[in-house]
């Protein structure tokens, strides 16, 4: 299904920005499920992105030093990995949202623009 593929491609780019933004606004370290819940609450329409896809993105952000994490045991159940935004992450965020805004207005212009034919 080309639509699904398009959706996936859109997600993979925006997920990093969304996660970075969520963690920059949070004062405490957050674990994956917490972030997934928070994202669920903030959207009314059907879930476009699977929660499972957040985790590899979190890991890759950590790999690039934009996030840091530590594992802490939970009262019951498996230990949880808590993520915090790093200084590098805070520096990257305004640049990334700048790129996002540019991209958004560019695409909007194209979509809403009048035909030039």
Partner 1 sequence: MFNTVEEYLDALKQEMQGVDSATIQDALVDAEEHLRTALETADESADALPAIIEQYGTPEETAAAYAEVERLTAPALSGSATKKQGSAIGRFFAIYADPRAWGALLYMLIAFVTGVVYFSWAVTGVSLSVSLALFIFGLPVALLFLLSVRGIAWLEGRLVEALLGVRMPRRSLPAPKNTKLLERIKALLVDKHTWFSIVYMLIQLVLGNIYFIVLVTVFAVSLSGVAIPILQEAFHLPIVQNYDVYYYMPSWGYPLTVLAGIFLWTAMMHLVKLVGGLHGRYAKAMLIAEQD
Contact residues for partner 1 (CB under 8 A)? 8, 12, 31-33, 36, 40, 47, 50-53, 55-57, 59-60, 62-64, 71, 74, 76-81
Q: Which is nearer to partner 1, 62 or 93 (CB)?
A: 62
CB of 22 to partner 1, least distance (A): 16
Lookup: tokens for 111: 């979509």
Strand locations in the chain (E):
30-31, 67-72, 80-85
Separation CA 21–CA 97 (nearest Å): 9
Contact predicate 55/62, CB 8 Å: no
Q: Which is nearer to partner 1, 50 or 106 (CB)?
A: 50
CB of 30 to partner 1, least distance (A): 12
CB of 113 to partner 1, least distance (A): 32
Q: Which is nearer to partner 1, 22 or 36 (CB)?
A: 36
Contact predicate 57/39, CB 8 Å: no
CA angle 34–8–25, rounded 5-degree value: 30
CB of 117 to partner 1, least distance (A): 37
Q: Which is nearer to partner 1, 10 or 106 (CB)?
A: 10
- Residue 21 CB burial class (10 angstroms; 0-12, 13-18, ≥19): middle
């Amino acid at each position: 299904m080309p639509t699904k593929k398009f959706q996936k491609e859109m997600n993979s780019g925006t997920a990093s920005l969304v996660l970075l933004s969520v963690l920059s606004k949070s004062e405490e370290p957050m674990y994956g499920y917490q972030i997934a819940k928070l994202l669920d609450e903030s959207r009314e329409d059907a879930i476009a992105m699977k929660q499972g896809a957040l985790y590899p993105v979190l890991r890759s952000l950590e790999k690039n030093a934009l996030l840091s994490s530590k594992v802490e045991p939970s009262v019951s159940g498996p230990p949880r990995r808590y993520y915090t935004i790093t200084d590098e992450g805070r520096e990257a965020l305004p640049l990334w949202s700048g790129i996002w805004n540019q991209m958004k207005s560019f695409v909007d212009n194209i979509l809403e623009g009048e035909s030039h034919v």
